Every structure is written in structure tokens, then in C-alpha cells.
Structure 1
Amino acid sequence: MLHRGDSETIILAFRAGQKMTEHTAAHPIVVLGQVGAIDFTVGGQTSELTGGTAIRVDTRVPHSLLARTDGTATLIVVHGR
């Protein structure tokens, strides 16, 4: 974890083929693509997360990830006040 306050910042690292099965978050999140290609599915719609792209997911919205290549992403959990 890099920072905690009104938000939490976490680096996620994946190997090609690694999955994060469908789950929800208790707070809104923003996921920033860093390296590699990750399929990010929200509400049945899949987007490619790559370096320089970002996806925002609201509280309790199901989402999943599948790493198409080795890669990293930055997860920001927005706690608010």
C-alpha cells in the first residue's frame, strides 16, 4: 500500500492468464493501467486496461480482471469523508 487517507493506493501485479474473479468493492475504485494488457469487465462489458488508461467502478458493482499479458495496475480505493 502506498498511501492511506481519504483514499488507498495499491499496486496490483499479474502474470499472463491470472484472473481476479468477479467481486465488488465497498467503496468506489479507480484502476489505472501501468504495464501490459488486462481485460477489465464491469457489468458484462469488457475493456482493455493498458498503460495510460483508467477505469472507474462504483460501490458494490461486480467486476473482474483477466491479465492477457504480465502487467501491473494501480488501484485507488476512494473512501471519502
Structure 2
Amino acid sequence: MNTASLLNNINYQENKPSVTVLLQTKTSKEVRIVMRKGQAMKEHKAPFPIIIELFDGTLDFGINGKSQILKKGDLIALDENIPHDLTCISDCIVRLSVSKYDSIERINATL
């Protein structure tokens, strides 16, 4: 059994979002991204399907160049290779579920 918390040891960085792997299972990695208002992740694609949960805050989530506002509690699932970007409207805590084969280095490269 693995356990983790989205709320423990939160570290907002002043110059870019903070990415933390909270736990890994046989099939996935659960990642926390914390962002201050105005911080962003540039457009990128994931090589595997992903699920994003906005745990707290407000986020402008761009998909193929179209903006969608996500609010606390919203979930969104994307298939692999869908261009998307994130801009934080108010301080955010994001839970990102990715394949265990995906790399945290790839996620950090979008910051």
C-alpha cells in the first residue's frame, strides 16, 4: 500500500511551478503541481493518456489552442499527444496522473 497527501509539504516557487511525484503504482505516477497566480506551463504533449484534477484554485487550461477554465474540483482527461498548456489564474494545486512510463523530466521541461 502507498499513501500520499496533496496538502503536505507544499512548496510554491516564486519563478515557476513546483512539480513533485507523490507516489508511483504499477501503472501510474501521481504528481502534484503547485502554481502561483500568473505561472504557466508552455504548450506540450504527453506521450500517454493523462488525467488532471484541479484540487484548488483556478486554471486556464488550453487544449489545441482553445481555452477552458478549470475550477476547484474539476477533472479533465486527455489522450496521448494532445497539445495543451496551463496558466494559473489563482494559486493552484493540480493532481496529475501519468503513466509510470512517462518521465518527470519531460514534465519539468514544460516549465
Indicate whether the TM-score tops 0.5. yes
1:32/1:53 CA distance change after superposition, 3 Å: same
User: What is the TM-score normalised by the length of structure 2?
Assistant: 0.67
How many residues are matched?
A: 80
- Three-state SS of the structure 1 residue aligned to 2:73 is coil
Aligned to 2:97: 76
- Three-state SS of the structure 2 residue aligned to 1:37 is strand
Larger Rg: 2
Aligned to 2:79: 58
Identity percentage of aligned residues: 31
What residue ranges of structure 1 are gaps of 5+ in the alignment?
Answer: none
Paired letter, 1:52: G
- Three-state SS of the structure 1 residue aligned to 2:90 is coil
What residue ranges of structure 2 are gaps of 5+ in the alignment?
Answer: 1-20, 102-111
Flag as ranges the 4+ runs of structure 1 deviating above 4 A: none
Q: Which has the higher strand share?
A: 1
Q: Which has the higher helix share?
A: 2
Residue 3 (1) aligns with residue 23 (2): yes
